[in-house]
């Protein structure tokens, strides 16, 4: 054996050990074995042994490793670690790590993912979705609510209260529905597909707010009093955190609650004097109970030595003295109730604090914990529901609407938009299914909640824009027959609330993900914050585990770059196998790039938002890809869904790849070097093909199993604003071959308009029956209803004072 062969064999064996994450001891034994082989075969004597000893001994001798290496590194680490405020720390530590941890660590266990149970509705939940949800959708005329009333009509409000739509999260013992997260998600999807005002109004009380906070942190008295009243709709809640000076930076609210004595119900009691100015508060104008976040202070030391106690949450009844509430904001013509609340010297007793005095100062932590649940459900589900309904309605419209003698959906340019609509709707449903499954398993996945919120609302924006483009003027002219415009107008609301999207992408996803999902970083930080021997012991263990992790991911990334991912184990042998393999490759890449970014930039990474955003994108697309594969598996791998699944996976993987390349291209010399190692042969994933886009477009344009599954659970009844499109679609498809028959009999091309006349002509030519003539008539009526838009008398568009004046003048 020559030295060169020995070197190559050693590299392969040690590389394989690192690739498979062998322990330090196994790795050392592997090195000794190779040295022994080298010596026994006479290749070398002692020099390589000395080199190996110098490198490996310090790591293998705990005394040296801990007391010399780890100790010194710990001293430097403590100096360079960025300062972290308590609110940042609370946000970081809130919630749990679930599948996000698995994909961050470079070696996702796909079998583990497949063993996660598929979500299911109980009989009660299914019945609620089929009955109560359909009923309320049929009751609500969205145009009337958004244009005329600027509110939902009273009977809809009452129905929502009576049927406990606001109590989906409240436990049965308090009279609530206690639905699973998955059921809540399906319900919101259906409502959002019908009306944004409806979905927003129902979504908020079931998300972060008094109900959720009371169930987790309320005292027994608070729970017994409020929860039954919230469950039966006697109380309408809102939660007020945002103030004019503190939006995204909500931890900096200037609102205060000062501990003092005051009078309550005729007695002098210890309490808080509140001064606050809040805005953008959903449901505030109609709320009967206000959850309020403020900074609690005790300057006179009435309850202890701490002067600045911190963010605290309390519940205020609407009619409390000193509070101004009732005025409304107008959020983009989707007038769900939203408005400001002010309070001047409002006195509340201590037991108004959620959880009582014991929870004083713990408000931020409470909010962050609850946010990691609510944010997984409400906005992602509303977005997915919107996208699913848009996919069906746009597919139907593009088959019914013709230009240049063709259904517009058959034109290649339109196909491109339709592919995005269909593929994204499939993907979004997959994400909500997977992430709410996590909640139902007891997780509070804070990183996944940020991923779902950001990506689902952005994808809805994309789907909405595409749907508008395909509909042309039909989407633009508002009126009772426009089923798109209000949803389009309201899309930025979801982008802005619960963590505005730019901030969520740039700061939150990776900021939290890097620390929570990484197997060693949080432990290193905690160890560094722990004094004495225990701190050093923990730091030593975490640090050297971390170093092994970095080397392993380096080797894996290098191997995948040069060797590709075809030898990676995949839990499938069909066309999905390549996706599992690529996901494993990209997961190792993320783990490696993440450590490189942290190593090179250190605390500066917090300010390098564009780097952080791209690392967050990688984590997000790995989660989204997992959700797509899981959905396909849970659905029983239906062949009809393959185009949708392929498009969703290819688009996701391509975006993942682009985020990696963009990061490397913006990471100086280190980035260029890594790009050469990780992408030596250039890009490995292509964008979804035109052929795939064409197949999706066809799926959306006619009834079939894949289309039915795509729109599953949505309100498509003819009683709804666009359910009739489904009926017209069936008629138009039935008319198409008959139309061709009439053309053939007539010996000329006939326009696909005035279908009732074509029907009569067919009858005269003896090629159509009476029923078929009837079908032509019905199809024409439906076709015109679909393509026509509303117009108004000028005075019908007057609003506010102008409308009052017109009314007075014309009374």
- For ligand FAD, the closer of residues 409 and 487 by Cβ is 487
Torsion of CA 443, 448, 449, 452, to 10 degrees: -130
Nearest residue relative to ligand FAD (C-beta): 247
Least gap, CB of 334 to ligand FAD (angstroms): 8
Least gap, CB of 332 to ligand FAD (angstroms): 8
Contact 473, 399 (CB under 8 A): no
- Ramachandran category for residue 786: left, alpha or beta (phi over 0 → left; psi -120 to 50 → alpha): alpha
What is residue 67's DSSP assignment? I
Nearest-angstrom CA–CA distance, 16 and 32: 15
445 phi and psi, to 5 degrees?
-80, 90
Nearest-angstrom CA–CA distance, 488 and 217: 37
Report the 3 state secondary structure along 233-262. Answer: CCCCEEEECCECCECCCHHHCCCEEEEEEE
- For ligand FAD, the closer of residues 616 and 693 by Cβ is 616
Burial (CB < 10 A; 0-12, 13-18, 19+), residue 662, is middle
Nearest-angstrom CA–CA distance, 557 and 374: 36
Nearest-angstrom CA–CA distance, 697 and 416: 8
Q: Could you tell me what percentage of the chain is helix, strand and coil, using 3-state DSSP and rounding each to the nearest 5?
A: 65, 10, 25
Nearest one of 461, 205, 435, 246 to 337, comparing CA atoms:
205
Least gap, CB of 92 to ligand FAD (angstroms): 15
- For ligand FAD, the closer of residues 398 and 506 by Cβ is 506
Nearest-angstrom CA–CA distance, 374 and 394: 30
Contact 175, 228 (CB under 8 A): yes
Nearest-angstrom CA–CA distance, 589 and 550: 11
- For ligand FAD, the closer of residues 396 and 493 by Cβ is 493
Least gap, CB of 330 to ligand FAD (angstroms): 10
Name the β-bridge partners of 524.
none
- Which residues are near ligand FAD by CB under 6 A? 238-242, 247-248, 280-282, 331, 338, 493, 496-498, 500, 502-503, 506-507, 609
Contact 434, 630 (CB under 8 A): yes
- For ligand FAD, the closer of residues 367 and 550 by Cβ is 367
Nearest-angstrom CA–CA distance, 68 and 225: 60
Least gap, CB of 292 to ligand FAD (angstroms): 10
Least gap, CB of 135 to ligand FAD (angstroms): 27
Cα-based distances in Å from 284 to 238, 241, 249, 278, 500? 6, 12, 21, 10, 20
Nearest-angstrom CA–CA distance, 238 and 256: 19
- For ligand FAD, the closer of residues 242 and 449 by Cβ is 242
Angle CA 574–576–581, to nearest 5: 110
Least gap, CB of 338 to ligand FAD (angstroms): 5
- For ligand FAD, the closer of residues 240 and 674 by Cβ is 240
Cα-based distances in Å from 401 to 138, 393, 404, 411, 782? 26, 12, 10, 12, 11
Parallel/antiparallel/unpaired status of strands 323-325 and 338-349: antiparallel
- For ligand FAD, the closer of residues 160 and 742 by Cβ is 160
723 phi and psi, to 5 degrees?
-60, -30
Least gap, CB of 208 to ligand FAD (angstroms): 8
Least gap, CB of 71 to ligand FAD (angstroms): 36
Nearest-angstrom CA–CA distance, 789 and 473: 8
CB count within 10 Å of CB 696 equals 28
- For ligand FAD, the closer of residues 437 and 449 by Cβ is 449
Of the residues 458, 498, 524, 726, which is catalytic?
Answer: 498
- Ramachandran category for residue 788: left, alpha or beta (phi over 0 → left; psi -120 to 50 → alpha): beta
Least gap, CB of 5 to ligand FAD (angstroms): 54
- For ligand FAD, the closer of residues 328 and 709 by Cβ is 328
Task: Look up residue 187 and give its two tokens.
Answer: 């319900």
Nearest one of 383, 398, 388, 483 to 707, comparing CA atoms:
388
- For ligand FAD, the closer of residues 103 and 240 by Cβ is 240
Least gap, CB of 601 to ligand FAD (angstroms): 16
- For ligand FAD, the closer of residues 503 and 572 by Cβ is 503
Quote the longest CA-to-CA distance of the chain: 111
- If you count them, how many residues does the chain have? 811
Least gap, CB of 85 to ligand FAD (angstroms): 13
Nearest-angstrom CA–CA distance, 341 and 322: 11
CB count within 10 Å of CB 194 equals 30
**702 given a catalytic annotation:** no
Local structure of 554: helix, strand or coil: helix
CB count within 10 Å of CB 260 equals 15
Active-site residues: which are they? 498
């Amino acid at each position: 054996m020559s030295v060169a062969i020995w070197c190559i064999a050693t590299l392969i064996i040690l590389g394989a050990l690192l690739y498979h994450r062998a322990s330090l001891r196994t790795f050392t034994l592997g090195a000794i074995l190779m040295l022994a082989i080298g010596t026994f075969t006479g290749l070398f004597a002692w020099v390589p042994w000395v080199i190996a000893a110098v490198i490996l001994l310090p790591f293998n001798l705990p005394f040296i490793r801990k007391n010399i290496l780890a100790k010194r590194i710990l001293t430097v680490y403590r100096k360079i670690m960025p300062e972290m405020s308590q609110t940042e720390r609370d946000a970081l530590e809130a919630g749990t790590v679930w599948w996000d941890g698995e994909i961050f660590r470079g070696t996702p266990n796909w079998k583990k993912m497949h063993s996660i149970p598929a979500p299911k509705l109980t009989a009660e939940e299914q019945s609620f979705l089929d009955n109560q949800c359909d009923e309320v959708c049929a009751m609500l005329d969205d145009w009337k609510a958004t244009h005329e009333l600027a509110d939902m009509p009273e009977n809809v409000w009452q129905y929502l209260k009576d049927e406990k739509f606001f109590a989906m999260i409240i436990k049965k013992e308090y009279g609530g529905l206690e639905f699973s997260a998955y059921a809540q998600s399906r319900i919101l999807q259906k409502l959002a597909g019908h009306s944004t005002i409806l979905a927003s109004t129902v979504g908020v009380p079931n998300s972060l707010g008094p109900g959720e906070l009371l169930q987790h942190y309320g005292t027994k008295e608070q729970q017994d009093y409020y929860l039954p009243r919230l469950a039966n709709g006697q109380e309408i809640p809102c939660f007020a955190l945002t103030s004019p000076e503190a939006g995204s930076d909500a931890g900096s609210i200037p609102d205060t609650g000062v501990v003092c004595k005051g009078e309550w119900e005729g007695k002098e009691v210890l309490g808080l004097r509140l001064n606050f100015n809040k805005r953008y508060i959903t449901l505030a104008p109609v709320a009967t109970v206000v959850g309020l976040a403020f900074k609690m202070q005790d300057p006179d030391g009435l309850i202890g030595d701490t002067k600045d106690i911190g963010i605290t949450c309390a519940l205020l009844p609407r009619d409390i003295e000193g509070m101004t509430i009732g005025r409304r904001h107008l959020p983009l013509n989707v007038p769900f109730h939203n408005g400001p609340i002010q309070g001047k010297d409002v006195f509340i007793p201590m037991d108004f604090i959620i959880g009582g005095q014991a929870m004083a100062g713990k408000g931020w932590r409470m909010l962050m914990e609850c946010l990691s649940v609510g944010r997984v459900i409400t906005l992602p589900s509303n977005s997915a529901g919107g996208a699913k309904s848009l996919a069906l309605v746009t597919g139907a419209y593009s088959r019914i609407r013709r230009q240049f003698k063709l259904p517009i959906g058959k034109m290649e340019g339109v196909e491109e938009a339709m592919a995005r609509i269909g593929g994204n709707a499939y993907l979004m449903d997959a994400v909500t299914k997977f992430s709410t499954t996590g909640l139902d398993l007891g997780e509070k996945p804070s990183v996944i909640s940020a991923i779902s919120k950001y990506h689902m609302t952005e994808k809805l924006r994309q789907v909405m824009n595409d749907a508008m483009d395909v509909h042309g003027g039909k989407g633009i002219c508002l009126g009772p027959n426009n089923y798109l415009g209000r949803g389009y107008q309201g899309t930025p609301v979801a982008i802005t609330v619960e963590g505005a999207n730019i901030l969520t992408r740039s700061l939150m996803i990776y900021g939290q993900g890097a620390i929570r999902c990484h197997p060693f970083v949080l432990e290193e930080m905690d160890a560094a914050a722990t004094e004495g021997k225990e701190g050093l012991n923990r730091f030593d263990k975490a640090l050297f585990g971390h170093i092994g992790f970095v080397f392993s991911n380096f080797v894996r990334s290098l191997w995948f770059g040069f060797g590709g991912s075809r030898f990676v184990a995949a839990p499938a042998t069909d066309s999905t196998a390549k996706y599992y393999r690529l996901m494993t490759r990209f997961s190792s890449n993320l783990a490696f790039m993440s450590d490189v970014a942290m190593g090179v930039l250190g605390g500066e990474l917090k300010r390098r938002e564009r780097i952080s955003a791209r690392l967050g994108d990688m984590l997000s697309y790995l989660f989204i890809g997992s959700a797509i594969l899981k959905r396909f598996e849970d659905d029983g791998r239906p062949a009809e869904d393959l185009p949708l699944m392929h498009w969703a996976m290819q688009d996701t993987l391509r975006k993942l790849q682009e985020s990696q390349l963009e990061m490397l291209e913006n990471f100086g010399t280190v980035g260029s070097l890594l790009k050469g190692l990780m992408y030596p042969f250039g890009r490995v994933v292509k964008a979804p093909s035109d052929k795939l886009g064409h197949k999706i477009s066809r799926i959306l344009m006619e009834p079939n199993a894949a289309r039915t599954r795509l729109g599953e659970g949505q309100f498509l009844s003819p009683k709804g604003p666009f359910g009739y499109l489904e009926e017209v679609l069936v008629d138009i498809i039935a008319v198409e071959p008959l139309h061709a028959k009439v053309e053939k009999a007539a010996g000329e091309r006939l326009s696909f308009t005035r279908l009732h006349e074509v029907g009569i002509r067919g009858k005269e030519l003896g090629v159509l029956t009476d029923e078929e003539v009837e079908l032509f008539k019905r199809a024409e009526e439906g076709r015109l209803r679909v393509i026509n838009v509303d117009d108004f008398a000028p005075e019908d568009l007057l609003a506010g004072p102008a409308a009052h004046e017109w009314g007075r003048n014309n009374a």
